[in-house]
Amino acid sequence: MVDKKTYDLLIIDDEQVIIDAIARIAGGEGFTVDSSLSAINALKQIENVNYKLIITDIMMPEMDGFQFLEELEKRRISVPVILTTGFSTVEMAVKSLLKGAIGYIPKPFTAEEILSVIYRGMEYRRIEKELKNNLFGKKNSSIIYVPCPPKYYRLGHNSWINIDNEGLVFVGATDLYLKTIKSLKKIELMKFEENIMQGSVCAKFETEESLIHHLLAPLSGMIVEPNYKLIDEPLLIEKDPYFRGWLYRILPSNLEAELKNLSSCSSDRI
């Protein structure tokens, strides 16, 4: 059996300029890049080639990004996917994460922004692989990441919410998300009384490699209290992401409707 050829990245977009731009930037960082102008072709390519990460446009003729995701799931192909679109609305962001994409990046993006997402995707892939190996008992089992506690809700594998007794909601980043960031250096938070919106950026995480990762808010609402401790001690979020490492306490504005876009952490465990 001949080993399949392996690429780091598969870029799917119906516009060549996007493929070229990402390939140029990723190539500059030493990643090997393959591309496809349509999702249908990409599915054929996947049969013969291994990819570590896929970046795909959403709005494409014949098969769009969401259908592509579903197709991958059907075929039990577990390659992490990052979605991108020029129709950059918050709904697109929310839907992308809900459908299982590990990241979402609106067009147009800068070189830094796309690189941050690619690095995070690669890290995600590494963790997933490690997890698989653990399952097959190849390594001594050690907890690789902590899943979010029951009764919490999460937006994709990015952020979580926890509704407290007073009707306020705690918002934070999941452990898996933080693990994909690797070396966290600084957290940039929004201010008291500012509004966050489901699917839009609510916090920026800067790493030692000076990559900036954007965290998408799981819920809309007004910030009642940012977790100021994180400014002085950013690593608190890595130590205790679900309790002491929360980001904001917010007053939700549309809890009932937006809850539909979140996944329940309780059901993750069944």
Q: Which of 88, 134, 207, 264 binds another protein (CB under 8 A)?
A: 88
CA–CA distance, 38 with 36 (Å, rounded to integer): 6
Question: Is 86 an interacting residue with respect to another protein (CB under 8 A)?
Answer: yes
Stretch that binds another protein, among 83-91, 144-152, 178-186, 238-246 (CB under 8 A): 83-91
Site string for another protein, 246-265 (x = CB under 8 A): -----x-xx-----------
Question: Is 114 an interacting residue with respect to another protein (CB under 8 A)?
Answer: yes
Question: Is 209 an interacting residue with respect to another protein (CB under 8 A)?
Answer: no
CA dihedral 32, 35, 40, 45 (to 10 degrees): -40
Count of residues that bind another protein according to CB under 8 A: 33
Question: Is 38 an interacting residue with respect to another protein (CB under 8 A)?
Answer: no
Residues whose CB falls within 8 Å of the CB of residue 188, separated by 6 or more in sequence, listed in order = 203, 204, 205, 206
Q: Tell me the backbone φ, ψ of residue 6, rounded to 5 degrees.
A: -125, 130
Shorter beta-carbon distance to another protein: residue 58 or 122: 58
Q: Which of 32, 67, 195, 207 binds another protein (CB under 8 A)?
A: 195
Question: Is 222 an interacting residue with respect to another protein (CB under 8 A)?
Answer: yes
Question: Is 18 an interacting residue with respect to another protein (CB under 8 A)?
Answer: yes
Please give the full DSSP string across 67-118, using - where no structure is assigned: HHHHHHHHTT----EEEEESS--HHHHHHHHHTT-SEEEESS--HHHHHHHH
